[in-house]
Structure 1
Amino acid sequence: MTGPFSSRVKDIEISGIRKIFEAAGPGSINLGLGQPDFDTPQHIKDAAIAAIQAGKTGYTGNNGIPELRAALSDKLKNENHVTCSPDRIIVTAGASEALHIVMQALVNEGDLVLCADPGFVSYAALATIAGGRPVGVPLDKTFHIDIEKAKSLMDGARLFILNSPANPTGAVESKESVKALVEYAEDAGVTIVSDEVYEHFIYGKEHWSAARFGDNVVTINAASKTYAMTGWRLGYLAAPEDIVGQCIKVHQYCQACATSISQYAALAAYTGDQSPVKKMRDEYKARRDLICAGLAKIGFSFPVPEGAFYAFVPMKPALVTRIIESGVILTPGSAFGTNAPDYARISYAASRDDLKRALDRIEKATGE
């Protein structure tokens, strides 16, 4: 049976990233997904197994187990210099759910939601599902947020989605930029939603959490990238008390609670050995250097990514198609908004051998 569908759903498209991934041919090298190729560290897996064996397989409190929320509160204080008590934290099914419930709780019909363009695919779609109107914030030539243009768009907006390090560009915003955005948003009555999932993968710069500079900030993060736990679906949001009070309602009815086993695994992740994170960061930097040098040798010119694990490279759509047909999956710039149709995102969360083979195929496709 078919019938009328919600315009909120009809008016959005399936993620361009997933479309390309699912259409890829056999033997393709996948540089399209933001999927770490590292395994989850053993001590984290051991904690999950122990939780299963201990029978910790039932519902938890809506906002997450107390031990994990206390650990996240400590993490925010010690790493991000942000004071946030455990009762102002909601543990979610990944950063994706955190973004969803924030939009549902804060966005009214027709509200403006500002997000970088090019920017992560979910922001505009989730704003639309919530009834809001996504508005693209342009970037400068180095892929950083154009602060003055961002300010000019804030009057009358409801949310500003800040993502640093950024997907798809790898740009890391400076302390001065983050502070300026937060302070201006505070004056304009705009809530900053700071997506910080790539905070530990920065090369030569420093991460600045938006909540250091103002109170009207929702911090969103996850274990997914930091600890190679994408499939565990474990994230969180930290926010002022009144925002948490509304977000928990949406979370309760759409999710009830994050997976119990994943929560105990995340507790081990955040409180245990952090050396695997450094090893992954060092390896990502080596891969970044490899892919950027290889692309430059082929003839591409673009800002070297400062964080995350993506390069955003100028490529006409016809070349992107040829590269995909040659067996390298990458994501067209059109998947990330309207401002960068002649670009492509290349993920270097793949082995060095795969990156070398991909560069060979890209070079051949470029020469056709």
Structure 2
Amino acid sequence: MINPANRVKSVEMSQIRKMFEIASPTAISLGLGEPDFDTPIHIRQAVVDALEEGFTHYTSNKGIPELREAISNKLASENKVKSDPESILVTVGASEALYMSTQAFVNPGDEVLIPDPGFLSYAACVKLSEGIPVPIPLKKENDLRMTIEDVEDLINPHTKAIILNSPCNPTGSVMKKKDIKGIAKLADDNDMLIISDEIYEKIIYSDKGQNKVKHYSPGQFSENAITINGFSKTYAMTGFRIAYIAACEHLSEELLKVHQYNTACASSISQKAALTAIKGPQKCVDEMLAEFKRRRNLIVSRLNDMGWECKSPQGAFYVFLDVRDSQEFVKQALNNDVVVVSGAGFGKTSTNYVRMSYATSYENIETAMERLENVKF
């Protein structure tokens, strides 16, 4: 029998995907982080136009120039991140961008700080690069939001990088400017790379009576930052597998090496769709955000009515709920035809939590909450 490489043996299959293998066909899924909206019609039409024009061949490794120019303009105007179009790479989803980042810069034995709880791909990508993922335990009293105090004592001479994710999957927390700026300074002072996953950037809620919640990119404050963003969540384009990575020139050159030999280039027609998304009308984004907020308010209200302490997340489209015994909750939820995800897959500090996605219809959430009323322990 041929044995797998040790770096692959150290990585587990996604706990999220496993849930769907055992769920019944009638189950309502609150598991996957995929918007249920159709991709806006003007973006779909761009694909039709590209096909009719025969735009079906390889593009530049970096991506079509007009898309990289549009991304550069977006980053400058919205994120205050200066990035030359030549230093921007269009990728096959944010997943490839994350993988590229760890493969290009993490050596065997390097330590990479990752949020705990945090998206399960972070630890996996670090392990596949033969690095060592070091959890940053996030505190409940901070609403599981990363702070500079959480980070500074974990940095040592072996620390190569830190992965940030704001708004955050699975918690829905949004980092504050002072923490983003402080961590950027730590990165500069310690020659540490920041890998910033900003895929949920546009999905932020500001509620009445609260200070306005905003997204801040570390790339605004440090040249040691890699910015990862894309179109999947904002424009309901998950199947297009299209995103981008932006960094200063000397970092971008190394990222391009991995990209060239990993995927060569992103899909030509997906790039045309992304160009239309970023340059076209943005009313569709506002409409989806308003519906996400309506769903968020429903799921939070219903869970609190059941006696679970559930705060309103500031971003993304997840609630992350402390249920005291996640395995039992997941089991009972599944018995009642509702799929939720155990927090154990997101880190050691969240084994008592479950993640529920409200990226499904309002009606599905209503039914799921009715079924979850039968979960008692």
Alpha-carbon distance between aligned partners in 2 of 1:125 and 1:77, rounded to the nearest angstrom = 31
Matches within 5 A, 1:318-337: 318-337=328-347
Q: What residue is the counterpart of 1:346 in the other structure? A: 356
Q: Which amino acid aligns with 2:247?
A: A
Q: What residue is the counterpart of 1:235 in the other structure? A: 243
Conservation of the 8 A alpha-carbon contact between 2:79 and 2:216: yes
Task: Name the SS for the 1:225 alignment partner.
Answer: coil
Q: What residue is the counterpart of 1:302 in the other structure? A: 310
Task: Name the SS for the 2:265 alignment partner.
Answer: coil
Q: What residue is the counterpart of 1:151 in the other structure? A: 152
Deviations 1:26-81 (A, max 9, x none): 10101100010000000000001100110110000001000100010011011111
Larger mean CA deviation between 154-163 and 104-113 belongs to 154-163
Q: How big is the shift at 1:320?
A: 1.8
Q: What residue is the counterpart of 1:285 in the other structure? A: 293
Matches within 5 A, 1:114-129: 114-129=113-128
Alpha-carbon distance between aligned partners in 1 of 2:370 and 2:150, rounded to the nearest angstrom = 40
Alpha-carbon distance between aligned partners in 1 of 2:310 and 2:145, rounded to the nearest angstrom = 13
Q: What residue is the counterpart of 1:190 in the other structure? A: 192
Conservation of the 8 A alpha-carbon contact between 1:21 and 1:33: no
Conservation of the 8 A alpha-carbon contact between 2:147 and 2:175: no
Q: How big is the shift at 1:302?
A: 3.2
Q: How big is the shift at 1:284?
A: 0.5
Conservation of the 8 A alpha-carbon contact between 1:143 and 1:303: no
Q: How big is the shift at 1:21?
A: 2.1
Conservation of the 8 A alpha-carbon contact between 2:72 and 2:84: yes
Deviations 1:106-157 (A, max 9, x none): 0000100111011001000000001100010011211111421311112221
Q: What residue is the counterpart of 2:69 in the other structure? A: 70
Q: Which amino acid aligns with 2:371?
A: R
Matches within 5 A, 1:267-282: 267-282=275-290
Decide which of 160, 164, 167 is 1:165's aligned counterpart. Answer: 167
Decide which of 248, 251, 267 is 2:259's aligned counterpart. Answer: 251
Q: Which amino acid aligns with 1:354?
A: N
Conservation of the 8 A alpha-carbon contact between 2:180 and 2:216: yes
Alpha-carbon distance between aligned partners in 1 of 2:43 and 2:276, rounded to the nearest angstrom = 5
Q: How big is the shift at 1:310?
A: 0.2
Conservation of the 8 A alpha-carbon contact between 1:137 and 1:150: yes
Alpha-carbon distance between aligned partners in 2 of 1:186 and 1:325, rounded to the nearest angstrom = 50
Larger mean CA deviation between 115-124 and 150-159 belongs to 150-159
Give 5+ residue unaligned stretches, structure 1. Answer: none
Task: Name the SS for the 2:96 alignment partner.
Answer: helix
Deviations 1:324-348 (A, max 9, x none): 2211111100010111101000000
Task: Name the SS for the 1:253 alignment partner.
Answer: helix
**Number of equivalences:** 366
Task: Name the SS for the 1:359 alignment partner.
Answer: helix
TM-score normalised by L of structure 2: 0.96
Alpha-carbon distance between aligned partners in 1 of 2:154 and 2:311, rounded to the nearest angstrom = 25
Decide which of 174, 177, 201 is 1:175's aligned counterpart. Answer: 177
Q: How big is the shift at 1:221?
A: 0.5
Task: Name the SS for the 1:193 alignment partner.
Answer: strand
Q: What residue is the counterpart of 1:355 in the other structure? A: 365
Conservation of the 8 A alpha-carbon contact between 1:154 and 1:190: no
Q: What residue is the counterpart of 2:7 in the other structure? A: 8
Task: Name the SS for the 1:170 alignment partner.
Answer: coil
Q: Which amino acid aligns with 2:369?
A: L
The answer to whether the aligner puts 1:49 opposite 2:48 as a matched pair is: yes
Q: Which amino acid aligns with 2:273?
A: A
Alpha-carbon distance between aligned partners in 2 of 1:38 and 1:79, rounded to the nearest angstrom = 25
Q: How big is the shift at 1:304?
A: 1.9
Deviations 1:239-260 (A, max 9, x none): 0111110110110001000000
Q: What residue is the counterpart of 2:210 in the other structure? A: none
Deviations 1:180-231 (A, max 9, x none): 1111111011111110000111011111111111111000011100100000
Q: Among all aligned residue pairs of Structure 1 and Structure 2, give the percentage whose two residues are the same amino acid.
A: 46
Matches within 5 A, 1:16-55: 16-55=15-54
Q: What residue is the counterpart of 1:226 in the other structure? A: 234
Q: Which amino acid aligns with 2:127?
A: T
Deviations 1:153-193 (A, max 9, x none): 12221110000000000000011111111111110111111
Alpha-carbon distance between aligned partners in 1 of 2:167 and 2:240, rounded to the nearest angstrom = 22
Q: What residue is the counterpart of 1:59 in the other structure? A: 58
Task: Name the SS for the 1:365 alignment partner.
Answer: coil
Alpha-carbon distance between aligned partners in 1 of 2:369 and 2:246, rounded to the nearest angstrom = 40
Q: Which amino acid aligns with 2:366?
A: K
Q: What residue is the counterpart of 2:134 in the other structure? A: 135
Q: How big is the shift at 1:23?
A: 2.1
Alpha-carbon distance between aligned partners in 1 of 2:20 and 2:312, rounded to the nearest angstrom = 25
Q: Which amino acid aligns with 1:365?
A: V
Larger mean CA deviation between 226-235 and 16-25 belongs to 16-25
Segments ≥4 residues shifted beyond 3 Å: none
TM-score normalised by L of structure 1: 0.98
Q: Which amino acid aligns with 2:111?
A: L
Alpha-carbon distance between aligned partners in 2 of 1:54 and 1:120, rounded to the nearest angstrom = 39
